[in-house]
Amino acid sequence: MLSGVTQTTDSAVTERAPRRGSRPLMHRAWIVAAVTFVTIIGGAAFNSLPGLLIDPLNTEFGWSRGEIGLAVSLDMALYGLTAPFAAALMDRFGIRRVVVVALGAVATGALASVWMTASWQLLLYWGLLVGLGTGSMALAFSATVTNRWFVARRGLVTGVLTAAGASGQLVFLPLCAWIVKDHGWRPASVTVALAALVVIPFVWLLMRDHPADVGLAPYGGAYVEKPAPVTGAAKRTVRVLFDAARTGPFWLLAGSFAICGASTNGLIRTYFVPSAHDHGMQITAAASLLAVIGVFDVIGTVFSGWLTDRFDARRLLAVYYALRGVSLLFLPMLMAPTVHPPMVFFIVFYGLDWVATVPPTLALCREQYGEDSAIVFGWVLASHQVGAALVAFLGGVVRDVTGSYDPVWYAAGALCATAALMALVIRRRDTATAVTL
């Protein structure tokens, strides 16, 4: 929580010197949140592609699924490892500058991939450029915006902004699947590059780094002056990691979130479409199912944010992970050439649970680590993406070796049971006494 900010009722909005003696109809925080939502959608468009392009790249270039999975793995790992440094860079240079550069990196990587001819170029464009760009707009970005602009409704806002990634998947996945099927993978890559470029003007014109920039208090809090830019961003990020790593809750949060990443981005997002295609399903049908996950992800994540404002985050995480693990154990039996009701039920259920884990995980970071919680959450997110990266690589290797993705589904289901237990043993800490690292 920002130093000097005191919590009031949810509806309270305290401003400094209202300009015309009347309160605006909408607090500026909601506009900033809306721009953040759209930005995450634009940046997340590229995340719709990897699962769609595994088979086309394998066919055109002869690259193994393990080679392609390595590039996806690097993208996911950098996505996570960049996030904590991006949060610190936002403290130093401002949210606007960091996000505009990040969107430019995503667009550059996506466009450059159109001309690639070797697998090392896939690592450079998909892995390095896109990984750094999307990592700078990861959930640590959402956490920074939420912490600065909101005191009330933080759980709800976290849920909405987390759902933005799923909304990007919902918008772009069916479109990209159709483009890949009818026009090839290159026009699909150009499409997501343009999506990132289109968002840049909105960020530059409407995003503001701090409520004090426009003379406002955070939503639901009291006015505070804008803090001075924080120097030594990288040093601070590493220091926060070392301090947090000396505490047990950090490892429990990081470990459970690594399993979350393994069972979502690393597994379902990367390999659901090619796995369904292995069973005879058309790529457009499989992609549409994955997009439906995005529909219910929005609902599930927003509802999870609402629940996080009202219930114990530890118990919520345990329930989410346990149910996810059970569903993964049944998935291999549901694969078929056509879409049938049990598969639809799985898709709806998994969508509701997809990133419902984010609001309670972020709430626990705030509870445990106070004003450094955004950076700590960035490191926890890094573990999420490392878990995703390992499965994105190993899943392709398993498919190359065994000819099936089934062993990966079963292993991920067992890991989710472990994550449920880890969530339950995180110790309680009163928010009022949360440490400042």
Angle (nearest 5°) at CA 147 between 151 and 424: 90
pTM for this model (two decimals): 0.68
Tell how far CA 396 is from the center of its chain: 22
Q: The CATH number of the domain where 125 resides is what?
A: 1.20.1250.20
Residue 11 lies in a domain: no
Residues 21-35: pLDDT tens digits? Answer: 445 567 888 888 888
Residue-range definition of the domain harbouring residue 129? 28-220+230-433
Phi-psi region of 4 (alpha: psi -120 to 50; beta: other; left: phi over 0): left
Residue 436: band (very low, low, confident or very high) from pLDDT cuts 50, 70, 90:
very low
Q: Is 15 among the domain residues?
A: no
Average pLDDT of the segment spanning 370-399: 84
- Do the domain assignments include residue 16? no
**How many structural domains does the chain have?**
1
The CA distances from residue 102 to 129, 188, 193, 199, in Å, are: 9, 20, 12, 11
What pLDDT is recorded for position 410? 92
In a domain, 10, yes or no: no
The torsion angles phi and psi of 15, rounded to 5 degrees, stand at -110, 160
Check whether 20 has a pLDDT greater than 50: no
Rounded mean pLDDT, 73-92: 78
pLDDT of residue 13: 39
Q: Is the distance from CB of 351 to CB of 294 less than 8 angstroms? A: yes
Query: SS3 helix, strand, coil % of the chain, rounded to 5?
Result: 75, 0, 20
What DSSP string describes 13-28? --BSS-SSSS--SS-H
Is position 387 within any domain? Answer: yes
Residue 238: which pLDDT band, with cuts at 50, 70 and 90?
confident
In-domain check, residue 44: yes
pLDDT bucket at 231, cuts 50 / 70 / 90: low
In a domain, 20, yes or no: no
pLDDT computed for residue 435 by the predictor: 40
35: CB partners within 8 A, 6+ apart? 202, 203, 206, 207
Amino acid 152: pLDDT:
80
How much of the chain exceeds pLDDT 90, in percent? 15
Asked if residue 253 belongs to a domain, the reply is yes
Residue 82, C-beta contacts closer than 8 angstroms, at least 6 positions apart? 131, 132, 135, 136, 138
Which residue did the predictor score with more confidence, 39 or 250? 250
Mean pLDDT of all residues in 326-342 = 90
CA–CA distance from 323 to each of 92, 136, 337, 350, 421 (Å)? 40, 31, 26, 9, 12
The pLDDT of residue 116 is above 80: yes
